[in-house]
Amino acid sequence: MATKAFARAKINLALHVTGRRADGYHLLDSLVAFADVGDQITAEPAPSLSLHLTGPKSAGLSDTDNLVLRAARALHPAFGARIILDKHLPVASGIGGGSADAAATLHALSDLWSVPLPSADMLLGLGADVPVCLSGQSARMQGIGEQITPVTLPQVSVVLANPGVAVPTPQVFAALQRRTNPGLDPPPPLHDAAALAAYLQTQRNDLQLAACTIAPGIATTLAALQAQPECLVARMSGSGATCFGLFTSPAAATAAAARLQASHPEWWITATTLG
C-alpha cells in the first residue's frame, strides 16, 4: 500500500542572524510558518530504493543525488521503496523545498516501513530546516535549527512570488556584512493579519540585503508586492529568492496574484494561506 505526505512550503516571516559558531554554522532566530502549497511525496513498496521525479518544477533535479534519498537512507539504510516526488515549488528558492521534501519523505517512509521517525541529531545532519519541516507547525526556530518552540499564528492570506532566479544559500551568507545581530523580539499575542503585520514590521530578514545585491530581481519582486492594494507587509523568505506579501483577505491576495502574473508572466506566483 502506497503512503503519501505533503511537503508544505516553509516561509521565514522574519529571520535574524545572531552569530556564527566556530564550525561555521550560523546561528539564527526565525519565525516560521507553513503555506498550503507544496510538493507531494508518494512512497510505494519496492525491493530497492529509487526516486522518480514529476511535476512542473522537477527539471534540473537529480534522481540519484537528492536530499529525499539521503533522508530515506538515514531512516533505514537497508529498506527499499519507490519514491515519487511531484515537484511544484521552485528549487533553491528560500521556502524550504528540499528540506520539506526530505521531511515528507521521512513521514511517508515511517508509515510505509512501520519504523519510528528519526532523532533530532539525525535530522540536523540532513539540514537545518528539516526539523521544523518535520513538525510542520508554526514555530520560532533558533540555534542552528535544533531549538523549535511552537508559536500560535493567525491564518492569513499571502502571495508568494519568485522572479525565477535560484540564489545559492552559501553565497548569500558569504555576502553578509554583519553576522551578530539581535534576536527576534518575543512575539506578542497575534490574533489577526493586522497584528502579525505590525509585529513583522518591527523585525527583519538579515539575509535580504545580501540576497538583493546578488539577485536584484528580488528587490523588484518586493516592490511589486508592496505596491499591491491591501498588502500589509512584503519581505523575502529565507535566503531568497521567493518573497511573500501579507494581505488583508483571500480576495485581496487572489486579485494581487492575478495582477502580478499578468505583468510578470515569467515569475512563479501563487496566492495561498499561512497558518
- The alpha carbon of 199 is separated from its chain's Cα centroid by a whole number of angstroms, namely 20
pLDDT by residue (tens digit) across 3-42? 999 999 999 999 999 999 999 889 999 999 999 999 999 9
**Mean pLDDT value across residues 80-102:** 95
Q: What is the enclosing helix (H) or strand (E) of 5?
A: strand 3-20
pLDDT of residue 72: 98
Grid cell for residue 272: 495561498
Q: What is the enclosing helix (H) or strand (E) of 204?
A: none
Q: How confident is the model at residue 121 (pLDDT cuts 50, 70, 90)?
A: confident
Pseudo-torsion of CA 133, 185, 202, 205, nearest 10°? -40
Going from N- to C-terminal start, the domains of the chain cover 3-147, 152-274
Q: How confident is the model at residue 56 (pLDDT cuts 50, 70, 90)?
A: very high
Four-way CATH pick for 152-274: 3.30.70.890, 3.30.360.10, 3.40.50.720, 3.40.50.970: 3.30.70.890
Count, residues in the chain: 275
**Mean pLDDT value across residues 237-259:** 97
For residues 90 and 123, is the Cβ–Cβ distance under 8 A? Answer: no
Under CATH, which architecture does the 3-147 domain have?
2-Layer Sandwich (3.30)
**Mean pLDDT value across residues 70-78:** 96
Q: Output the average pLDDT for the chain.
A: 96
Q: How far, in Å, CA of 229 to CA of 252, rounded?
A: 7
- Given a cut of 90, whether residue 167 has pLDDT beyond it is no
**Mean pLDDT value across residues 134-149:** 96
Q: How far, in Å, CA of 66 to CA of 72, rounded?
A: 10
pLDDT by residue (tens digit) across 202-217? 999 999 999 999 999 9
| Residues acting as catalytic residues | 10, 129
User: Shortest CA distance to 135 belongs to which of 95, 106, 173?
Assistant: 106
